[in-house]
A and B are shown apart, each in its own frame.
Chain A
Amino acid sequence: MSGRVRLLFIVAALALSGVGAVLWALTAGEFAVSPLGAMAALFGSGTGIESDVVRHLRLPRAIAVFACGGLLALAGALMQVLLRNPLADPYILGISGGAAVGALFAMMIGLAPWMVDGAAFAGALAAMLLVFGLAHGDGSWTQTRLLLTGVVVAAGCGALVSLMLSLATDTRVYSMLFWLMGDASGATQPWPALVVLGVALIVLAPFARDLNVLSRGEDGARALGVDVRMLRYLLYALASLLTAVSVTLIGSVGFVGLIVPHLVRLIIGNDQRVLLPAAALAGGTLLTFADTAARTVLAPIQLPVGVLTALIGVPLFLFLLSRRMR
């Protein structure tokens, strides 16, 4: 099977499972909707409360978690190549820390929800520029320097978050904690995130083979004609932006960005031309399943989606890892 055919096959299969996950998200819940009813609501012929629930409550949330799952998995895969470190995840360079500082500060002084989103995005961008500025200061821009700078900035953000939690009033602490654990219930404008995900995949496509070469070492990549400097700027900017968009929309949901790239790599290999789109689709699918489960298994209690991603992902990952060992 040639490479292109394999890519199409894998993308088609994962896209189908993504559609299945979104369909489940639209139908499941206290107010049960049949798949046909969900379709009818989506494509306009449905009316009444069923249509309202599907279109105005469940669809934005399903699209938000699907897009964010994709963004996080893609950002994680890019960070792992950029830092040449299998343990890298989207939050490792302090993007989520910056977003958390922004969002919690906005909550602490009682700003409106949309301003909290704005503050989170501003915080993420500030952290991204700070890490870039510090790590790039003398032009050396090595992986170790970037990693250390990011980890230290993330630690600083963590301290600020703890400070704000201890200063905040009881009523606000609850919403702050929920934000920190990741919460998709407030996501009403999910479409921009989906567009960002699509644009990122298109931008990356012509560089995917360059990433294959870069993941095998910097000198070797340069000797093979890869513009490593430009590629690393692109990776840093894209991975950070994708993470910032996701954190702004649903808070810092852990685990997806670290595990999904590895999960996909264990099954289909490390060719970035296939891995990047496959990781994006698999991340979206996994997070959609997890979020739907989080709001339905113990209904009416809503669990943090991060708990579910870990509960689903950890055994799956360990199973694949042990299968590969043999």
Chain B
Amino acid sequence: MASGEVLLDINQLALRVGERWLCCAFSQQLRAGEVLVLLGPNGAGKTTLLRTLAGLAPPAAGTLSIAGRSVEDWPPRELARLRGYLPQQQPDLFPSSVLETVMVGRHPHLGRWGWEGEQDVAVAEAALSETGMLDFAARDVLTLSGGERQRVAIAALLAQAPRLMLLDEPTNHLDLHHQISTLELLRARAEAGCAVVTVLHDINLAARLADHVVLFDGRGRVLAGARDEVLRADVLEQAFSQTMDCIEHAGRRIFVPR
């Protein structure tokens, strides 16, 4: 697994909001085929880190490169064909069909004067069927439930077909079955040669999906490393200010709040 191309190289990165340091300098590499999960309490800086990794916000210190090239050196449109970003919220204001909404992911693949062709429709429909939303293609997004809307947003990211996928709480609003199928979908994409970075809230989902974990403790420290080094009861207790038990079951660690 460690043989894939390095798609994301975080080097001594630090983040600050106003006067508050969200995280001290840390480094982490992510190769094609690997999944990195960002974990931590509310307001610790997971979204800020994800936006920074996507190149949407500058880091306070350190460097960041995507596919071997510093993130600020990428032309925005080329970068958009390589890395995709799923925001936490999907703020729809105007009516639009599900298919149109997913087709927005094709934007960076089309020229200035280009219109979506049959091939783009095929890509969008394939993405919709991957998230189980193909039957909804003609529906107005404003009429969808929260979970359905989230699956449409994930389909839009799949239609963008980036090699580096950054997702902010993709399991938001999803029922248990769709949470698991979304994780499986992300794992399948990684196995197909993508690298995935995702914010998750559920420690056990994180344990199920992650190769690497970046754990925020909410007080400016982060711990980055391989999954089993970071996901330990004592470390998690400190980060989440919650006592916790760790149970081994079927070869997996399961964390239960005490």
Contacts and interface: CB of A to CB of B under 8 A. Distances in A.
A216 interface: yes
B76 A226 contact: yes
Nearest to B80: A225
Given A209-B107, A215-B94, A219-B51, A224 B116 contact: no
Describe A's contact surface by its main secondary structure.
helix
A145 interface: no
B56 interface: yes
A216 B101 contact: yes
B92 interface: yes
A212 B140 CA distance: 15
A206 B104 contact: no
Interface in B135-190: 160
B105 interface: yes
Q: Most chain-A CB neighbours within 10 Å: which of B51, B94, B95, B116?
A: B94
Interface string A184-214: 0000000000000000000001100110110
A210 B101 CA distance: 13
Contacts of B214: none
B51 to A, nearest CB: 7
Interface in B24-43: none
A227 interface: yes
A227 B112 CA distance: 13
A224 B80 contact: yes
B100 interface: yes
A14 B87 CA distance: 38
Interface residues of A, number: 31
Interface in A210-267: 210, 212-213, 215-217, 219-220, 222-227, 265-266
A55 interface: no
B18 interface: no
B49 to A, nearest CB: 14
Contact of B85 (A4, A210, A220): A220
Interchain residue pairs A-B with the least CB separation, the first 4: A225-B80, A223-B85, A225-B77, A3-B115
Given A223-B56, A224-B160, 17 more contacts: A3-B115, A86-B94, A209-B114, A212-B104, A213-B107, A217-B87, A220-B85, A220-B104, A224-B105, A224-B108, A225-B77, A225-B79, A225-B108, A265-B94, A269-B97, A269-B100, A273-B115
Interface of A: 2-4, 80, 84-86, 205-206, 209-210, 212-213, 215-217, 219-220, 222-227, 265-266, 269-271, 273, 324
